Chain A
């Protein structure tokens, strides 16, 4: 069955370190998204991609970057981790119009920045 996976599921890091969160989908979807979920804010869009070599900034992109070198993967990098980036991160993917616009979500990565 097609799925979307995230790794690691839990991560503890220190302020200032670079961290990369992995997202891999086997749906063969063109669109991929990264969100963060925080109490009081709900889910907010960090970055998104409509296809290989395409990346775009979302609502809360400062301090984060992504790259899309193939259809299946969209890794999220925290350039220099800050305590404000402690959160739960979700990756999602969706198809183009006509193929179904529902977003499929991964299980999440819980990140703690000390």
Chain B
């Protein structure tokens, strides 16, 4: 059974800092790895999707990497802003469209 872990559970950084969020998964036979953002009281918004054949994906200030062999993915946020404050979730898909989620990292960016 796939297990997805995100460390740390919470992170507080000053505005402008670059930061890395970590995600690990136990079964490397994944189809893709997805990163989502969740604001308080809201649904999830997709940020980046990395196919198993890819090493990384970029969108604006966000860069996600995938290392299947080690069972790890990272989300890099450059020049953090207060508007980046949210909970970030990673999810692994095994090939049946079903996602296994980590519990998330709650990010606070302090002005």
B-facing residues in A50-78 (Cβ within 8 Å): 50, 58
How far, in whole Å, are A80 and B71 apart by their CA atoms in the complex?
40
Per the bound structure, the CA–CA distance linking A42 and B103 in Å amounts to: 5
| Known pairs A31-B97, A50-B97, A101-B32; A90 contacts B102 (CB<8 A) | no
> Smallest CB-CB separation from B43: which chain A residue?
A105
Residues of B within 8 Å of A43, CB to CB, are 44, 89, 91, 99, 101
Q: A25 to B42: give the CA distance in the assembly, Å.
A: 17
Contacts of B46 in A (CB 8 A): 102-104
**Are the CB atoms of B43 and A106 closer together than 8 Å?**
yes
Q: Is there an interface contact between B43 and A108, defined as CB atoms closer than 8 Å? A: yes
Give per-residue flags for A77-97: 1 if the beta carbon is below 8 A from chain B beta carbons, else 0: 000000000000010101000
Q: How far is the CA of A29 from the CA of B17 in the complex (A)?
A: 39
Q: Which residues of A contact B89 (CB under 8 A)?
A: 42-43
Place the interface of chain A in its size category: 20 to 34
The residue in B91, B97, B101, B102 that gathers the most chain A C-beta atoms within 10 A of its C-beta is: B97
Q: How many Cβ-Cβ contacts under 8 Å join chain A to chain B?
A: 50
Residues of A within 8 A of B32 (CB): 101
B34–A45 CB distance below 8 A:
no
Any chain A CB within 8 A of the CB of B69?
no
B42 is contacted by which of A41, A42, A108 (Cβ under 8 Å)? A108
Who on chain A is nearest to B4 by CB?
A42
Q: In the complex, what's the smallest C-beta–C-beta distance from B70 to chain A, in angstroms? A: 22
Closest 5 CB pairs of A and B: A105-B43, A42-B103, A105-B44, A43-B101, A102-B46
Interface residues of chain A, those whose CB is within 8 Å of chain B, are 31, 33, 40-45, 48, 50, 58, 90, 92, 94, 101-108
Can you list 19 A-B contacts with CB-CB less than 8 angstroms, sorted by A residue number? Answer: A33-B97, A33-B99, A42-B103, A42-B104, A43-B44, A43-B91, A43-B99, A44-B101, A45-B99, A50-B97, A58-B98, A101-B32, A101-B97, A103-B46, A105-B43, A106-B43, A107-B43, A108-B42, A108-B43
Q: Which residues of B contact A (CB under 8 A)?
A: 31-32, 34, 36, 41-46, 49, 89, 91, 93, 97-99, 101-104
